Amino acid sequence: MSPVLKRPVVLFMGVCFACVILIYYQSSHSQGKPHYSGVCNTENVNSIVMDQDDPCILNLLRGQYLHPPSKNKLSLEAPEVNNPSMGQAQSILEILKNKENGFFVECGALDGELRSNTLFMERTLGWEGVLIEADPKNFLKVQEKNRRAWTVPACLSTSSSPKTVVFKQAFNQGRISQNQLDDQNRAGSVQVQCFPIYSILAALNRTEVDYFSLDIEGDELAVLKTIPWNNVRIQTLSVEFIHDKEGKDQIREYMTLQGYEVVKEVTDPNWLANDFIFNKI
């Protein structure tokens, strides 16, 4: 073959090879990286990088952390209180026009009753949902209430991976410690397992959420940033902003980029509520 003909053939072969590589990459990428196939336990999900919806993480959640809704009668300390929310639930239901049979996520759930943003929805409007509470003492109180919602004794991860953290117990002001090494042996601190919120939703086979109540004393923005927004639809949120180290403006700006508008701010003079109310545009 003459040199004149050889160059086009080589060029054509190179282009074809590149096309094959591109097609292979797109096919592999569309399927995500391979699922983890080793021993599935807490130590490994905390140390090995996996997709948030990797079957190992989901099976661990389903087997050890997701407690099904109670079939017993509600056991409330103040059943006469119609709606214990400090205004967040009322604002959300205005947006959703008192929707019935919706689905909520509430974190932190505290004791499942005091200032709960979801109890009225469950009792009166037939909603289902999931209550997430990191403090082991508070979680026991949640279970005693016999809520008709899934319950999870864990914290929400501030990264896209599960992890174990030191959690400072303080009833309604408990939070992930900001000084992990210093606080790990102090009284009132416990080791708590965290999962990304998307992992919990995936374990429940949920991609649509009507209301997400997020009040975790300062890590709200970090948790929001772990959500793969293209994979889920969350219609409304109440997000506490008063303790977040990045500041409330950063929360507002980030959520605006995700397609949300601030409908209002719910505040209380005694600091019992300092929340943005977000609605998906």
pLDDT digits (tens, 9 = 90+) for 82-129: 999 999 999 999 999 999 999 999 998 999 999 999 999 999 999 999
The mean pLDDT of the chain is 87
> Looking at residues 213-223, what average pLDDT do you find?
91
Task: State the pLDDT confidence band at 34, using cuts at 50, 70 and 90.
Answer: confident
What global pTM score does this model have? 0.85
Is 80 exceeded by the pLDDT of residue 194?
Answer: yes
Asked if 88 and 113 touch (Cβ cutoff 8 Å), the reply is no
Task: State the pLDDT confidence band at 244, using cuts at 50, 70 and 90.
Answer: confident
Is 90 exceeded by the pLDDT of residue 24?
Answer: no
Strand residues in 162-207 grouped as ranges (E): 163-168, 175-176, 189-195
Would you state the pLDDT for residue 152?
98
Is 60 exceeded by the pLDDT of residue 4?
Answer: no
> Looking at residues 190-207, what average pLDDT do you find?
96
Is 60 exceeded by the pLDDT of residue 212?
Answer: yes
Largest CA distance in the chain: 94
> Looking at residues 137-157, what average pLDDT do you find?
97
Asked if 110 and 172 touch (Cβ cutoff 8 Å), the reply is yes
Distances (CA, A) of 214 to 3, 59, 133, 173: 69, 24, 11, 13
Would you state the pLDDT for residue 242?
86
User: Which phi and psi angles does 243 have, rounded to 5°?
Assistant: -105, -10
Would you state the pLDDT for residue 232?
98
